[in-house]
Amino acid sequence: MDEKTRSQLLVLTKELNRLNKEAETFYVEKARKEEKYEPDFFGVVKPFADQVDQIRIEWLPLALMFVQEEKPLHLHPSQLQQTEENLEIVAIKSFYKETSRKRQMETFKSVEYVLNQLIGAIDG
Taking the alpha carbons of 87, 15, 8, 49 in that order, is the dihedral positive or negative? positive
**Tens digits of residue pLDDT in 10-68:** 999 999 999 999 999 999 999 999 999 999 999 999 999 999 999 999 999 999 999 99
Confidence of residue 124 (pLDDT cuts 50, 70, 90): confident
Q: Give CA–CA dist 19/51, Å, rounded.
A: 9
User: Angle formed by the axes of helices 77-93 and 46-70, to 10°?
Assistant: 170
Q: Evaluate whether 94 touches 26 at the Cβ level (below 8 Å).
A: yes
Please check whether residue 3 is in contact with residue 115, taking contact to mean a CB–CB distance below 8 angstroms: no
Mean predicted lDDT score pLDDT of the chain: 97
